[in-house]
Amino acid sequence: MIRVIPAIDVIDGKCVRLSFGDFSKKVIYDEKPWEVAKRFEDAGIKRLHLVDLDGAKQGKVVNFKVLERISTITNLVIDFGGGIKAHEDIRIAFNSGASMISTGSIAIKNKTLFKEWLKQYGADKIIAAADAKNEKVAVSGWQEDSGISIYDCIRELLTDGVTQVICTDISKDGSLAGPATDLYKNLLKEIKDFNLIASGGISCLQDIVDVEQAGCKEVIVGKALYEGRIELTELKPFLV
C-alpha cells in the first residue's frame, strides 16, 4: 500500500500553498503550521513533508522555528527542505527536529558537498529532490532551469548513493489537475531500485491510487487536503 505524506509549505511562518512554484500565487491556509501538523498527527499520520519556501528562495534555512515547534508538539517523522545549502543549514535542520532533509539544488550545484552529506548522515537521512519542468530539472526554489534531464539527474544521484528521490512535476504542482503518472511510470521503467516519492497535482483519492499503480510507494499530498478535496479520515488506508 502506498503511503501518503502530507505537506506543509511555509512562508513568513505561515502555512501556504503556491501554484506551479510561483511565489506570486500564494494562498495562506493557516497562520499556525504547527496546529496543522497536530491535526495531521491526530488523524493517524506519522510522516510530514515540511518545506521552507522562504529558505528555498533565499538560499538558507529561514523558518527553522516552525520546524522546531512542530517537532516539539508532535511525534511526526519530518523531512525538511528549502534553503539547505551549507553545513550550517543542515545542522540547523537536524538540531531543530528534522528526521530527514530533502535538497535539490546542492545535489546539482555542489556535488562534492552533497556526497559529503550522504557519507556523513547516510542515505536514509538525505532525500534528493529532482523537480522537473518539461523533463528538465529546476533548482533554486524552481526559479532556475538547470538544463539537465530528469532521467540523467536521477541516474547520477543513485550513482552517488541516493536511495530516495522526491520528484515533482512543476507543471502539476498546486494545480489539482492530477499527478504526472506517465513521468513516474517512465522513470521507474528506465531506472531501477530506488524509492520514487511522487509529488504534485494530487486532487482526489483516485489520483493516489493512480500513482501507486504507476509504481510509487510514497506520495506527497498538499493542496487537496487544504481545499477539502481529500478528507483526513479518507487517508486511513494509506497511513502505513
Task: Give me the active site residues, please.
Answer: 9, 131
Beta carbons of 145 and 135 less than 8 angstroms apart = no
Beta carbons of 160 and 113 less than 8 angstroms apart = no
Residue 203 DSSP SS3: coil
79 phi and psi, to 5 degrees? Answer: -100, 130
Beta carbons of 136 and 168 less than 8 angstroms apart = no
Question: What's the DSSP call for residue 169?
Answer: B
How many angstroms separate the Cα of 74 from the Cα of each of 36, 92, 117, 194, 221?
11, 18, 26, 29, 19
